[in-house]
Amino acid sequence: MRIITATAITLALAAAAATAAPATAATAAATGKPGTDGLWRMDGYGTVLSLDGDTLQEFQTTSVSCLKGDSARRSGPRTYTTPDGTTLTVRPGPGRNRAALGYETSVGHRSLRRIQELPAGCTRPTPQDPRTAFDVFWHSFAENYPFFAAKGVDWQDVRDRYRPKVHQDTTREELFGIFSDMVRPLYDAHVAVRDGDQVFAQVRPGTEPPSPELDARVKKFITERDLRNAPYREDFANGRITYADLPGRATGQGYLRISGFSGYAADDAPYSVHFGELDKALDTILTTQRTQRLKGLIIDLRINGGGSDALGIHIAERLTDTPYVAYAKRARNHPTDPGRHTRPEPIRVVPADGPRYTGPIAVLTSGTTVSAGETFTQALIDRPGGTVRVGQPTQGVFSDVMQRNLPNGMTAILPNEEFLNRSGRTYDGTGIPPHLTEPVFTKEEFAKDRDSAFDRAVSVLRNED
């Protein structure tokens, strides 16, 4: 049930069943449940929900399994709250047999269709032997993962090669290694295998995963080199956001560094607290006086480990005075046909109340710009007012991340969504390319005290004056 937009690397640290036939009025009547209470199958996502009084229970389904997932407690007429404090909203309609589910940390909605009873597998225990765990693992990817063709991976061939290696006496360690080998060729930072504290995950070749150590090193380098003598500089949101008015040849430009779209408050704080910390930062940074005098704004996402897409959209709302579509979001919606999807849902950017900066922007990106860092980058592509990207392509992972429980207690982590640009293209795998290519935090850049991408952005924005 959790929506996770951080990378699988970050997760390490801290099927879709066949589309249901349209429900009928008779089906709804048979449930005997008022409002949104009852059983619902989600379009895409391989999920069935049970809404019963004060409890929302998730069931994770494939064509061979049904396992209990997360749960939430009712916190309002249409809202439920998960144990980690995330609010879910269930809105009825259109009609009695349809509804929509939204997560405050995510963007878009998930369509629900009322069903009469739980799938048969949900009502009986699932064996916990290695072969059953293998089958649930394989089907979770086979029925949900959208990118096998793009990655050049034949998932049926993977099954044929690895399933004979699994038997009753296969150890847990051996099974973890088999699962890791199966997904290794995907090189997808939103794919992981987890067994307690043991995690297999990897990034696209030639890129570096975000880490606290890398973030701290880069922040120190930027502060000492790029922001030296800045007339104003301040950290916000638990140090995840830095703003500075730039000095010297960059006078009149602002610099906004965002190292993630999460972690703005204590780890156990609800999303609303993180959202509030972001608003405090934006209110301090984007004052009426500053937005009127800024001639350009550099947004540095080069080390950004992801988080909440909704926070990225919230920032974009402070950067335009004209509504526009950031991207469209869809999910794979058939267990055997990767080409079938839910209807793309446009995600809109609506100008925020209060001061907004609407001038030219330079966005700095790299292969360590990941997940929500990428969806925010994508949200600025069609922004009115001019946006140029400088640096290296982003990592190439955009989807919310599914956590699928395996019957032996392990977890499979994978994406099932696409974020489309206005041409209907997804940047998954390749990442969003820069307009202007520059090296980013290479050994040579550090050794020679150079920040070529930053300097290029300053020059580009100065020429916009």
pLDDT tens digit string along 241-280?
999 999 998 999 999 999 999 999 998 899 999 999 999 9
Considering only residues 8 and 178, tell me which one the structure prediction assigns the higher pLDDT.
178
Q: In this model, does residue 4 exceed pLDDT 80?
A: no
* H-helix segments, 286-415: 288-293, 309-316, 372-379
Q: What is the pLDDT of residues 55-87, one digit of tens each?
A: 999 999 999 999 999 999 999 999 999 998 899
Which residue type is seen at 54?
A: D
C-beta separation of 246 from 255 below 8 A: yes
- Report the chain's mean pLDDT, rounded to a whole number: 92
This model's pTM is above 0.85:
yes
Say how far apart CA 172 and CA 14 lie, in whole Å.
22
Q: In this model, does residue 20 exceed pLDDT 60?
A: no
Confidence class for position 385, pLDDT limits 50, 70, 90: confident
Res 19: pLDDT:
30
* H-helix segments, 2-95: 8-13, 25-31
| Lowest-pLDDT choice from 32-41, 174-183, 194-203, 456-465 | 32-41
Nearest CA to 313 out of 354, 282, 344 is that of 282
Q: What is the pLDDT of residues 185-215, one digit of tens each?
A: 999 999 999 999 999 999 999 999 999 999 9
- Give the residue-averaged pLDDT of 434-460: 98
Res 465: pLDDT:
62
Q: Which residues contact 379 (CB under 8 A, 6 or more apart)?
A: 312, 313, 316, 326, 327, 347, 349
Q: In this model, does residue 384 exceed pLDDT 70?
A: yes
Confidence class for position 464, pLDDT limits 50, 70, 90: confident
Q: In this model, does residue 34 exceed pLDDT 70?
A: no
Q: In this model, does residue 94 exceed pLDDT 60?
A: yes
The percent of residues above 90 in pLDDT, for the chain, comes to: 89
> Tokens 């009753």 correspond to what residue?
168
Say how far apart CA 103 and CA 4 lie, in whole Å.
11
Res 53: pLDDT:
87
Considering only residues 460 and 24, tell me which one the structure prediction assigns the higher pLDDT.
460
Q: Tokens representing 384?
A: 């009115």
Q: In this model, does residue 178 exceed pLDDT 80?
A: yes
Say how far apart CA 203 and CA 12 lie, in whole Å.
13
Say how far apart CA 309 and CA 135 lie, in whole Å.
32
Q: What are the CA-CA distances from residue 257 to residues 97, 197, 350 (Å)?
A: 45, 31, 23
C-beta separation of 278 from 256 below 8 A: no
**Rg of the chain's alpha carbons, rounded to an integer?**
23
Q: Which residues contact 441 (CB under 8 A, 6 or more apart)?
A: 218, 221, 302, 303, 366
